[in-house]
Structure 1
Amino acid sequence: MRDDNVIEPEGRLAQNFFFRLLKTMNAEGEHSDYAKAWSAEHLAERLFGGHSQIDLAMIQTVPMFDLYKDGLDAVDRQYELVQLEPERVVFCGGTDPMLRGLNTAMHDIDYQITQLGARSIKFYTAHTRGRSWRMDDPAVAYPMYERMLEHGVNLAQVHKGNPLGPEPISALQTHDVGEAALAWPQMNFIIHHLGVPYEDEAIAIAQRYPNIYLSMSTWINMIRVAPRLTAERFGKALRGVGADHILWGTEAPLGPHPQDLLDWVWDFEMPEDLVAGYAYPRISDADRANMFGRNLLRLLDLDYVNGRLVPAGAGAPDEVLVSANATR
Structure 2
Amino acid sequence: AKRYNLKGVKVYTAEWYNGSRGWSLSDPEAQVFLDKCQELGIKNVHAHKGPTIWPLDKDAFEVKDVDIAATRNPELNFIIEHVGLPRIEDFCFMATQEPNVYAGLAVVIGGLMHARPRFFNKVMGELLFWVGEDKMLFASDYGIWEPKWQVEGFVEWTMPDREEYADYPAVTTATKKKILGLNAAKLYGIQVPQELQLPGEAPAAREDAQLVESA
> For this structure pair, what is the TM-score category when the shorter chain's length is used for normalisation?
0.7 to 0.9
Residue 125 of structure 1: aligned partner? 13
Match of 1:239 in 2: 129
In the other structure, the counterpart of 1:287 is 175
Residue 159 of structure 1: aligned partner? 48
5+ residue gaps, structure 1, are 1-112, 306-315, 322-328
2:19 corresponds to 1:142: no
Deviates more, 1:174-183 or 1:163-172: 163-172
Higher relative contact order (CA 8 A, sep 6+): 1
Structure 1: distance between partners of 2:174 and 2:62: 31
Q: Which residue is equivalent to 2:76?
A: 187
Query: Normalization by structure 1: what TM-score?
Result: 0.56
Kept in 2, the 8 Å contact 1:247–1:292? The answer is: yes
Q: Distance in 2 between matches of 1:193 and 1:200?
A: 13
Deviation at 1:235, TM superposition (A): 0.8
In structure 2, C-alpha distance between the alignment counterparts of 1:165 and 1:116, rounded to whole Å: 34
Q: Is 1:206–1:212's contact at 8 Å kept on the other side of the alignment?
A: yes
Partners in 2 of 1:268 and 1:227 — Cα distance? 10
- 8 Å contact from structure 1 (residues 269, 282) kept in 2: no
Task: Name the structure 2 match of 1:319.
Answer: 196
Asked if the contact 2:79/2:104 (under 8 Å) is kept, the reply is: yes
Whether 1:173 and 2:62 are equivalent positions in the alignment is: yes
| TM value normalised by structure 2 | 0.85
Q: Which amino acid aligns with 1:174?
A: V
Q: CA deviation at 1:131?
A: 4.3
Aligned to 2:159: 270
Task: Tell me: CA distance 1:320–1:226, structure 2 relative to 1, closer, same or farther (3 Å).
Answer: farther
Once the 2 structures are TM-superposed, how far is the Cα of residue 281 of structure 1 from its aligned partner?
1.2
Secondary structure of 2:196's aligned partner:
coil
Which residue type is aligned with residue 210 of structure 1? P
Letter of the structure 2 residue corresponding to residue 187 of structure 1: L
Contact 2:105–2:139 (CA<8 Å) still a contact in 1? yes
**Aligned pairs (5 A) from 1:42-121:** 113-121=1-9
CA distance in 2 between counterparts of 1:301 and 1:144 reads 22
Shift of 1:253: 4.1
Which letter maps to 1:319?
Answer: L
Kindly state the Cα deviation for residue 130 of structure 1 after the two structures are TM-superposed: 3.2
Q: CA deviation at 1:225?
A: 2.1
Structure 2: unaligned runs, 5 residues or longer: 199-215
Give the superposition deviation at 1:284: 1.1
Structure 2 residue identity aligned to 1:285: T
Cα separation, 1, equivalents of 2:92 and 2:152? 25
Contact 1:289 1:320 in 2 (8 A): no
Following TM superposition, the consecutive aligned residue runs of length 4 or more in structure 1 with deviations greater than 6 angstroms are: none
Per the alignment, residue 71 of structure 1 pairs with: none
For the aligned residue pairs, the C-alpha RMSD in angstroms reads 1.7
Cα distance in 1, alignment partners of residues 46 and 147 from structure 2:
21
Aligned residues: 194
SS at match of 1:123: strand
Larger radius of gyration: 1
- Amino acid aligned to 1:119: K
What amino acid does structure 1 have at the position aligned with 2:175?
D
Give 1:320 deviation, angstroms.
7.1
Q: Which has the higher strand share?
A: 1
CA distance in 1, matches of 2:6, 2:21: 26
Letter in 1 for 2:196: E
**Which residue of structure 2 lines up, in the alignment, with residue 15 of structure 1?**
none
